[in-house]
Structure 1
């Protein structure tokens, strides 16, 4: 059996995360629990807390598959002599799996039940995925089947998302240790809130820029086992490799 084109997996992963976030926001606001919730705030009270666990748990299950497909694609597009690059990809796929572990911790422990575990899990997921996306965006230059313009867009998106997450970390730290109180905190709250959602959506959507690369992979199931191979593609004369 052969399945040609595996881009459906990251597409499903992105749709699941974004749709889940939309449902969580809707439930939290309509229930009156919080009018301007951070993502973590949507997992504090039922019924949205149940949805929160389901969304991020399924995401942490699908995530390793996406990271592994990316790893296989990069291996197929490298030469055996590029040992440093291969080692780097092994480190990156490990980071991808660590992100999923952090995501599962984030799913099981809410800000109400265990704030410390929740912050560690969510922080690991956000920082790890930003690092993963940025490194892969750099590595894909010269290896991706996407156009040169798409490679520029992908790297720019990774850089912007990383900057947003740094600003988010600074903002969250300032709010948590109450460096800014009263009217100042109210004004500061909205930019930090928007930074979190922009960062989350940026991390998710960037996976869609790899569509052409994932679509070039083929899953084969035979008596010898399961293998993921790269379909040969005809070079684009306007964008030669």
Structure 2
């Protein structure tokens, strides 16, 4: 079996994230387990939305593993545009990306209510490594022949903004834990800022996932009962990457 164009993978991952987050958020608010403006992790503190929370994040982690592998294959299929050490660089990036996915699983399993330190630490690592991975890949993709500059600029900008928000989020949390932010008013502002940053970062991540649609469309996969092969599509089948 041969499938031409793997752009649907990016769309399915984005759809999966929106679908389960919407369901978890709605259940959490309806059951009065959190206020409408809540941390994403608050959807994982109570039953039944915590089931959706765990399944959703684990599904997201698994799908992200697959998408990162496709990124790796895409770059390696265009290796002539890069230096001799690109294979090693891509393996390092793949390890960083998959480490991010592993920490997403840990973050989902250990709720912020029962395991606050484990949950927060794994979330910092997951989104920090994920931001580094995506930014590095977005910069490398500028070198791919036929890359659309507008999409490349958009993708890189979203990565930089997401990384900036992650650093800001960590700063807001550290200020609370170290008591640099004292007083009710300061705590309220810090909590509100952290929540807005968290949701904004998620939106940027989804934008970044969708930005790979055109790149993935230039790939095809051939599946047999023994193996599968990922290759470039013929030039007459795709207008560019």
TM-score (norm 1): 0.91
Give the corresponding residue for 1:107: 108
Give the Å deviation of 1:222.
Answer: 3.7
For 1:227, what is the secondary structure of its paired residue? strand
Give the corresponding residue for 2:124: 123
Give the corresponding residue for 2:26: 26
Equivalents in 1 of 2:155, 2:121: separation in Å?
A: 27
C-alpha deviations, 1:124-149, integer Å up to 9, x for none? 21111111110011000021644112
Equivalents in 1 of 2:155, 2:195: separation in Å?
A: 24
Equivalents in 2 of 1:114, 1:43: separation in Å?
A: 11
CA contact (8 A) 1:145 1:213 kept: no
Alpha carbons of structure 1 residues 216 and 193: separation in structure 2 relative to 1, 3 Å:
same
Equivalents in 1 of 2:12, 2:74: separation in Å?
A: 18
Give the Å deviation of 1:224.
Answer: 6.3
CA contact (8 A) 1:10 1:208 kept: yes
Give the corresponding residue for 1:230: 232
For 1:79, what is the secondary structure of its paired residue? helix
Q: Which runs of 5 or more residues in structure 1 are unaligned?
A: none
Q: Which runs of 5 or more residues in structure 2 are unaligned?
A: none
Equivalents in 2 of 1:14, 1:73: separation in Å?
A: 20
For 2:235, what is the secondary structure of its paired residue? coil
TM-score (norm 2): 0.91
Equivalents in 2 of 1:178, 1:41: separation in Å?
A: 23
Report matched runs for 1:1-241 at 5 Å: 1-35=1-35, 36-79=37-80, 82-143=83-144, 145-180=146-181, 181-222=183-224, 225-233=227-235
Give the root-mean-square deviation of aligned CA atoms: 2.3
C-alpha deviations, 1:36-95, integer Å up to 9, x for none? 321112111111111111111111221111110010000001129832222111111111
